[in-house]
Amino acid sequence: MFKEIDMRGMAYPLAINHVKQAMEDLEKGKLTAIVDNEIIKDGISRYAKNMDLKVNVEKSYGSYYIDIFKEHRIEEITSIETQYQSNKNRDLTILITKNYLGEDSKELGKILIERYINVLSEIYPLPSTMIFINSGIKLTVKGSNVIDTLIKLEHRDVEIITCGYSLDYYQMRDQLMVGSVGSMYKVVEKLNYAKNTISI
């Protein structure tokens, strides 16, 4: 069976989700994904390789044609994904303290933090917990470009905690779109018990 999806102009998280859904619907055969963004091309290729699928990429007139070959039965694909899920590092907590990454350019930093979170959702092992404090809470509220990605991470058992004090400071408590509100006691407890912590 052959299937083709044209995702030129589509945003990163949506394109990845389209490919995943298409691969779930495809029992066996080839899926061709067409994109016009190198980062999305790399994300789709990485996803296919993580799922132990053959992948071939060709570029033509500014577009990438990504052929993904599904030779496994659905049960086998599910088994592979389950293996990755079981390898999650349950001792890793990521503390996000602002809504941008780096220090020199906030404009660039906002792009980088969004890409960081999007790529994080495609790489295993996943963290066990993500904590958002200070201006980092702006990534979990209405208007954030990474809400869909964070929801996807939450569905994969990544705990999303947003600092309640920070939400109140920015008057955004009623705009929270993903995860739960955490007190400072909960934040401290999570950080104290985490074996590994990344702070950005």
* Domain coordinates in residue numbering, the chain: 2-86, 92-199
Per-residue pLDDT at 83: 45
Select from 73, 1, 65 the least CA-distant residue to 30: 1
Per-residue pLDDT at 146: 93
Contact 97, 134 (CB under 8 A): yes
Per-residue pLDDT at 117: 94
Per-residue pLDDT at 51: 74
Residues 6 or more apart from 91 whose CB is under 8 A from it?
A: 128, 194, 195, 196
Select from 89, 91, 159 the least CA-distant residue to 126: 89
Per-residue pLDDT at 132: 98
Per-residue pLDDT at 66: 94
Per-residue pLDDT at 12: 67
CATH code reported for the domain at 92-199: 3.40.1260.10
CATH topology of domain 2-86: Translation Initiation Factor IF3 (3.30.110)
User: For the whole model, what pTM was predicted?
Assistant: 0.58
Burial of 103 (0-12, 13-18, 19+ CB in 10 A): exposed
Integer Cα distance of 161 and 69 in angstroms: 38
Per-residue pLDDT at 33: 93
- In this structure, what DSSP letter does residue 141 have? B
Name the phi and psi angles at 70, rounded to 5: -105, 110
Structure tokens at 181: 């509100």
Per-residue pLDDT at 77: 45
Per-residue pLDDT at 103: 85
Per-residue pLDDT at 116: 94
Please give the average pLDDT of every successive group of 10 residues along the chain, which has 200 residues.
Answer: 88 79 85 90 81 88 92 50 48 93 90 93 86 97 91 87 95 90 91 89
